[in-house]
Structure 1
Amino acid sequence: MNKISAHVNNIALHHTIFALPFAYMGMFLATDGLPSLHDFIFITLAMIGARSTALILDNLIDLKYDRLQPRLAKRPMVTGDVKTPEVLILMFISIILFTFSALQLAPICIYLAPLAILILFLYPYTKRFTFMCHFVLGSALAMAPIGSYIAVTGTINLPILILGLGVCLWIGGFDAIYGSQDEAFDKKHGLHSLATKFTARRVFPIISVVHFISIICFIITGYAYHLTYTYYIGILIAIITLIYQHSIVSPYNYSRLTQVYFMRNGIVSIVIFIFTVISISAK
C-alpha cells in the first residue's frame, strides 16, 4: 500500500481535478446534451493515461533539478520511494491506455494521439529555453476540452478552441505564480520562467491580465454555445475564486501557496462544468 501511495503521489492523481471537468465539459458541449456512456468511459480513460504519462515524464526529466530543490525534497522519486524502472513501466502502461482509448473514439483521435504525446513530452524541456513554458503546460491541459470535443464529433470549431485558450491561460497563469517562488533557484540553474524573465514581482500583475483574458474566453464560450444564464453563475463563482486566490499570495509571501491553494483552483473547473451541464439541461 505504501508503494501504491507513493506512485499515486508521484503522478499527483488528485490534480486530475484541474483537467477532467473541462474534458467532460467538452463532451457535453459536443453533444449539446448527455454524452454516451461509451464516450464518457473512454474519454475518462484517455485522460487518465495522458495525464499519468505527462506527470511521469515531468518527474523523470526534471529529477536532477528536483534533487537540488529543498522544496521538493519529499517527492517520491527524490526520496527513492519510487524507482525509475517502476515509473517507466507505469508510463508504458499509461501510453497503452491512452492509445487504446483513442482507438475507441472518433477515428481522427488515433491520428492526433502522437501529437498529444509529443506536447506532453515537450513541456518539461521548455523550461530549459523559454519563459513561456507555463503556457506549454497550459496547452497540454487545453487538450482536455478540445480533445474530448473531437473525440465525440470528429471535428473542431472556433468556440471549442476559445474554451481551450481559456483553460490554457488559467492553468498557465497559476503555474507561473507557483514557479515565481523559484526565481533564484531557476536563475542559478539556467532554467526559464516568467519570473526569471520579468522578476517575481512583475509576474503577479501580468497573470492578473492573463486570468482576466481566460475569463473572457469562458464567457465567449457560453455565448457561442448559446448557454443559458445559469452558466454565467458558474463564471461568477470562478471570478470570485480567482480574485480570492490572487489576494492571498504575493511575491513577498508564498506561505499560503499550498496544496489547499491548488485544490481550490480545482473549484473553478468543477463549477464551470456543473453549471454548463445545468445550462444545457435547461435548454
Structure 2
Amino acid sequence: MAFFRNVRVTLEMIKWEHSIFALPFALTGAMLAARGIPHAQQLAWIVVCMVTARSAAMAFNRWADADIDASNPRTAMRAIPAGLLSRGFVGGFTVVMAALFLVAASQLNRLTLILSPVVLLVVLSYSYMKRITRWSHVVLGIALGIAPSAAWIAVRGSLDPRIILLTAAVMLWVAGFDVLYSCQDVDHDRREGLFSVPSTFGVSGAFWIARLMHVAMLTLLLLLAHAFGLGAIAYAGIAAVALLLCYEHMIVSPGDLRRMNAAFFTMNGVISVLYFLFMAAALMLHK
C-alpha cells in the first residue's frame, strides 16, 4: 500500500536510527536522577518521548527545507525534492509524531507535560535558524542537549542545576560536529544567503571553532563527574570520549571532507553509547 511505502520512506528520510545520538545522554540523565536504574515505565516513556520528538523535528526540518534541499546537489535526492514524498504527507507525519510526544510526556509527570510544548518549540525552531543566524548549530545543540535535563525531570519531577552541566556538554558536542558537517555546504550556503559558521568564518575557522566546542564539552563532563561524586570509571569514560573526539577530528580536515559521514554518523554514535555505558557502570558500582 502507498501509505506504508510512504511511512517507510519517511523513516528512511529522517534516519530514525540516529536517535541513538541523544538517547544515551537522556538515559544517562535518567540514571543520574535515579542514582541507578529508573522504573521500567519511566524508561519506556522517556524512550518514546525521545524517538517521537526527534522524528517530529527531523520530518519538520525536511518539510521546511524542501526548497533549500532541492537547490543543494548534496541533498537534492532527499525524499521531498526527489518527489518520493509530498510535503503534505511529511507535514502530517510531523503532526502525528508531535502529538505522540505530548501524550508520552503526559504519562511521566505534571512538569514534563507543562514543559512539553516548550520542548517542541525548541526542536522545531532549529529548522529556521540557518536563515537568521550563523549560530544555528548551537540551536541544534540545545535541541539535543535538553534531553538529559528532560529525562531528569521525567524521573524526579524537578530540575537539579547539576544536570545542566550535561545539557551544556551535549549542546557543545552537537554544535561542534554540526559545524564540521556544515563545512560540506559552505559554497551552497553562501550562494543561497544561508548562515553558518563555515560560511562566515571559512572552513579552517570552522574547524577551530568545533575543536574549541569539543574541548569545552570535555571540561563540562569532568565538572559533571565531580559534581555527582562519581569515581574513576566515569573519568575513564570521559578519557575514552576524548580519544574518540580526537580521532574524529583527525579523519577529516579543512582540505579533505571525504570521511565526514564516518566522523558524523559512526563516531558520534559510538561516543554517545560509550559514554552512557561508562556512566551507567560508574553509577551502579558507586552505590
> TM-score when scaled to structure 2?
0.95
Task: Give the Cα separation in 2 of the matches to 1:57 and 1:89.
Answer: 10
Structure 2: distance between partners of 1:140 and 1:19: 10
Verify: 1:103 aligned to 2:103, yes or no: no
SS in 1 for 2:132: coil
Q: Look up the equivalent residue of 1:170 and give its one-letter code.
A: W
Partner of 1:82: 85
Quote how far apart the aligned CAs of 1:141 are.
Answer: 0.2
Amino acid at match of 2:161: L
* Partner in structure 2 of residue 16 of structure 1: 19
Contact in 1 for aligned 2:177/2:264 (Cα 8 Å): no
Are 2:191 and 1:203 equivalent residues in the alignment?
no
Superposition pairs for residues 169-248 of structure 1, below 5 Å? 169-248=172-251
Deviates more, 1:131-140 or 1:233-242: 233-242
Deviations 1:49-79 (A, max 9, x none): 1001100111111110100111112212221
The answer to whether residue 118 in structure 2 is matched with residue 115 in structure 1 is: yes
- Summarize deviations over 1:132-185 as a string: whole Å, max 9, x none: 100100000011101000111111122111100000000010001111221111
Distance 1:105 1:213 in 2: 32
Partner of 1:253: helix, strand, or coil? coil
Q: Which residue of 2 aligns with 1:56?
A: 59
Confirm or deny that 1:26 pairs with 2:29.
yes
**Do 1:15 and 1:263's aligned partners in 2 also have CA atoms closer than 8 Å?**
no
User: Using the alignment, how far apart are the partners of 1:207 and 1:167 within structure 2?
Assistant: 13
Paired letter, 2:49: A
Report the residue type matching 1:189 in the other structure: E
Q: Give the deviation of 1:108 after TM superposition.
A: 0.6
- What are the equivalent positions in structure 2 for 1:135-154 lying under 5 Å apart? 135-154=138-157
Q: CA RMSD in A?
A: 1.3
Greater mean deviation of Cα atoms: 118-127 or 72-81: 72-81
Q: Structure 1 stretches of 5 or more lacking a match?
A: none
Instruction: Quote how far apart the aligned CAs of 1:232 are.
Output: 1.5
Aligned-partner residue type, residue 205 of structure 1: W
Are 1:38 and 2:34 matched, yes or no?
no
The amino acid that maps onto 2:229 is H
- SS state of the match for residue 162, structure 2? helix
Normalising by structure 1, report the TM-score.
0.97
Question: Is the aligned partner of 1:163 residue 2:166?
Answer: yes
Whether contact under 8 Å (2:252, 2:263) holds in the other structure is: no
Structure 2: 5+ residue stretches without partners:
none
Contact between 2:184 and 2:257, CA under 8 Å: does it hold in 1?
Answer: yes
Instruction: Give the 4+ runs in structure 1 shifted more than 3 A.
Output: 1-5
Count of aligned pairs: 283
| Offset at residue 260 of structure 1 (A) | 6.3
Work out whether residues 182 and 198 of structure 2, in 8 Å CA contact, stay in contact via their aligned partners in 1: yes
Q: Give the letter for the 2:227 counterpart.
A: A
Cα contact 1:249–1:257 (8 A) shared by 2:
yes
Partner of 1:68: 71
Counterpart Cα distance in 1 of 2:31 and 2:119: 21
Q: 2-side partners of 1:42 and 1:259: how far apart?
A: 31
1:67-119, Cα deviation, whole Å (9 max, x unpaired):
01111122122212222222122112101110011111121111111111111
SS in 1 for 2:71: coil
Q: 2:158 is paired with a residue of what secondary structure?
A: coil
